[in-house]
Homo-oligomer: A and B are copies of this chain.
Amino acid sequence: MLRIAVLGCGRIGQMHAANVARHPRATLATVYDIHQPSADRVAQDQGVKAATTAEEIFASDQIDAVLIATATPTHADYIEMAIASGKAALCEKPIDLNLGRVEACAAKIAGTSVPIQLGFNRRYDPGHSAVRAAMAAGDIGDLHQVIITSRDPAIPPRAYLEEAGGLFRDMTIHDFDLARFMLDEEPTEVFAIGGALIDPALGAELNEVDSAMFILRTASGKQCHINNSRTAVYGYDQRVELMGSAGMIISDNRKPHELRRYSAKTVEASEPYQLFFLERYLEAFMAEIDGFVDCVEKGATPLASFEDGRRALILAEAAYISMREGRMVKVSEVQA
């Protein structure tokens, strides 16, 4: 059993703590949050004792690994502390909103053999990973086009948006990673547009966008489109489509159950899609821990690595340049 401490007891940290606690190959060693009452509440729910500092976690020899789900600005620090203390780290995305900080962290941990896994949950989703496996098995021949639809059910509160680092670094970063995962080749060019269509005040006051579209291209010419919206009223919309020379394969939306209604007005109607990532990607979050245990115990390579986190952020930076300048931007133009 891998003894994991969860750092951060916000919404996603609570979920991770519960998932670790009920995971057949892991135990929840302790939890920590900068806001002690939050940590205490989660600790009580899961029947463990909360830590009072992060440092005591890194110092403990009763803990094998850490799951970092704290505020983004602390991620890189905690990764460095984990590596320094020889504890495997599973870190929520993004590594940092600042590419320079990410590069510095990369330099600091270079050469470590301690496992680091990034929280790109989509790579662990049963549907998305089945699609990738089918593509890798040659089921659609040569891959030509990837279409990623990624829309959140409701726009987050203004306070969140002010801290989130911008749509591309906060939300699209998952899709940039998914694009890399599916393309099976590095995108070398990025084009992006964005707008504040849902809440025009976002644009005027925060210079933020809530709706966006992207085109990526790889060196060999593979094409990828991503579209984002902060408000899909019909539920969390998460689709991936791979088009190739011998066929197409889609990972479609998942419903809470398979009810269909038929009335005088409409037929084959289902309930809205699963609310948000905690519901939609529950299996993925569990599989993520599976994978993490495999990395630590069996020396497996993480499906989502630190380097994947770095490269997704570079794509986000390229996309920001593109949006500003209205042109295709080479990924190689991005500088930390």
| Any B CB within 8 A of the CB of A52 | no
What would be 18 A-B contacts, judged by CB atoms less than 8 Å apart?
A18-B24, A125-B257, A130-B259, A131-B259, A145-B213, A191-B191, A213-B225, A229-B243, A233-B247, A233-B264, A234-B248, A234-B267, A250-B258, A251-B258, A252-B260, A253-B258, A254-B258, A268-B268
In angstroms, Cα B107 to Cα A63, docked, is 56
Q: What chain B residues lie within 8 Å of A250 (beta carbons)?
A: 258-260, 262
Q: 15 additional contacts, CB 8 Å, given A229-B243, A249-B260?
A: A22-B22, A127-B258, A130-B257, A191-B215, A195-B221, A197-B245, A213-B223, A223-B227, A231-B245, A232-B248, A248-B261, A249-B261, A249-B262, A252-B259, A264-B272
- Give the one of A127, A217, A223, A265 with max B CB within 10 A: A223
Q: What chain B residues lie within 8 Å of A191 (beta carbons)?
A: 191, 193, 215, 328
Task: Give the top 3 A-B pairs by smallest Cβ distance, nearest first.
Answer: A269-B269, A127-B257, A234-B262
Among candidates B134, B212, B243, B261, residue contacting A247 with C-beta atoms closer than 8 Å = B261
Q: What chain B residues lie within 8 Å of A142 (beta carbons)?
A: 197
| B258 near A267: Cβ-Cβ < 8 Å | no
User: Which A110-150 residues sit within 8 Å CB-CB of chain B?
Assistant: 125-127, 130-131, 134, 139-140, 142, 144-145, 147, 149
| B257 near A126: Cβ-Cβ < 8 Å | yes
Q: What chain B residues lie within 8 Å of A232 (beta carbons)?
A: 243, 248, 262
How many copies of the shown chain assemble into the complex? 4
Q: What chain B residues lie within 8 Å of A248 (beta carbons)?
A: 232, 234, 237, 261-262
With A215-B191, A225-B227, A269-B269 already in contact, the answer to whether A245 and B198 are too (CB < 8 A) is: yes
Q: What chain B residues lie within 8 Å of A193 (beta carbons)?
A: 191, 215, 217, 223, 328
With A211-B144, A222-B197 already in contact, the answer to whether A134 and B269 are too (CB < 8 A) is: no
Q: What chain B residues lie within 8 Å of A270 (beta carbons)?
A: 266-269
| Any B CB within 8 A of the CB of A246 | yes
Q: What chain B residues lie within 8 Å of A215 (beta carbons)?
A: 191, 193, 213, 215
| Any B CB within 8 A of the CB of A176 | no
| Any B CB within 8 A of the CB of A162 | no
| B243 near A126: Cβ-Cβ < 8 Å | no
**Chain B residue at minimal CB-CB distance from A238:** B258
**Chain B residue at minimal CB-CB distance from A131:** B259
**Chain B residue at minimal CB-CB distance from A263:** B247
| Any B CB within 8 A of the CB of A292 | no
| B251 near A259: Cβ-Cβ < 8 Å | yes
In angstroms, Cα B222 to Cα A195, docked, is 8
